[in-house]
Amino acid sequence: MLSFVNDYSEGAHPAILEALARTNLQQEPGYGEDAFCASARERIRTACNDPTADVFFLAGGTQTNQVVISSLLASYQGVIACETGHIGVHEAGAIEFTGHKVLTVPAHDGKIDALELDDYVGAFYGDDNHEHMVFPGMVYLSHPTEYGTLYALSELEAIRAVCDRYGLRLYLDGARLGYGLVTPGTDVSLPDIARLCDAFYIGGTKVGALIGEAVVFPRHGMPGHFVTMVKQRGALLAKGRLLGLQFDVLFADDLYTRIARNAIECADVLRAALVERGYRFLVENPTNQVLVVLENDHYERLREKVAVSYWERVDDRHTAVRFATSWATRREDVDALIELL
């Protein structure tokens, strides 16, 4: 049985396991004060081209969104996401659990439009009194988005300009950031993201780590008492070394982007074959999530041989599914899948 069900089905890149074994009995302080975290922080600062960036390691994506957003917002503020944003749909209300509302603007293939954002936020500064409404304090976006699309640099800059106009923080969810950074044609680099965002995270769980996400607060932007707030949210690991070591490995010798490329290459091969065979995409995107519309019969037959993600019902006769590639996808499995299609 083939599997393209997601990009977190395997363990970790072998270099990480090797480093875990090599350093296993080295005694280190807890709670992120270890040497591995320190080294990883330094490597990430370099990769972000921001020697002043604060870097903190957390275990998972929803946790990271919850901790960062609730730590940066004031009590009366909400966070703006587009309607398909992960925090508003698939995180079980983790943001609301901390007392904050997720405010929504329309989604365009998973992306926020800067002009619509400007309209939405601008209304809070108009004649009408908005004291009875949740005040926007932050913009949340994903890159790549939940639909595998990417922002152009100009789009991010336009969103940043809106944030500057109204004093909003900009936070980027990079659960699959590695894949976005190496997609051919993207003009968005890690230093660009560090320059434009107030906070973002570099996803490890879906890009080669066992678990872990690296939160970056450029320009010394980490809120005061952040460690305490992480602990208060149940997110502080005693063995922070496990997270630090993995990012230390991933950010040595460009391993992070090197292994991400495999996912994009595999997805490109798959996409080309799908186009050739006349398949329809639910959303066209250039990253590692290939969203395809299948006839229901076809879907049923396919499921017997390939594990895929059900995405959504399209109409009575069609279903959208996702083929996800990853750092670990083998080219022969892609070929076998193409054979089946």
Closest distance of CB 18 from a second copy, Å: 9
Of 161 and 336, which CB lies nearer to a second copy in the complex structure? 336
Tokens found for residue 74: 């004031």
Q: Which CA distances in Å does 312 have to 9, 166, 196, 319, 338? A: 21, 36, 33, 6, 22
26: Cβ contacts below 8 Å, ≥ 6 apart: none
- What is the DSSP secondary structure assignment for residue 115, as one 8-state letter? H
Residue among 156 and 215 whose Cβ is closer to a second copy: 215
For a second copy, which is the closer residue by CB, 39 or 98? 98
Q: Tell the smallest beta-carbon distance from residue 219 to a second copy (Å).
A: 21
- Rounded distance between C-alpha atoms, residue 161 and residue 154, angstroms: 10
What distance in Å separates the CA atoms of residue 7 and residue 309, rounded to the nearest whole number? 11
Can you give the length of the chain in residues? Answer: 341
Q: Are the beta carbons of 68 and 62 closer than 8 angstroms? A: no
Q: Which is nearer to a second copy, 78 or 85 (CB)?
A: 78
- Are residues 180 and 191 in contact, defined by beta-carbon separation less than 8 angstroms? no
CB of 1 to a second copy, least distance (A): 9
Comparison of 158 and 242: residue with beta carbon closer to a second copy? 242
The CA distance from 72 to 223, in Å, is 7
Beta strand extents in the chain (DSSP E only):
2-3, 54-58, 77-82, 102-105, 135-142, 169-174, 199-203, 213-217, 280-283, 289-295, 306-307, 309-315, 318-324
Q: Specify the residue, 2 or 274, whose C-beta has the smaller distance to a second copy.
A: 2
Q: How far is the CB of 165 from a second copy (least distance, A)?
A: 19
Q: Shortest gap between Cβ of 24 and a second copy (angstroms)?
A: 4
Rank residues 13 and 160 by Cβ distance to a second copy and give the closer one. 13
Q: How far is the CB of 97 from a second copy (least distance, A)?
A: 5
Exposure b/e, 135-151, CB count within 10 A at least 16 = b: ebbbbbbbbbbbbbbbb
Distance in Å, CB of 149 to a second copy, minimum: 21
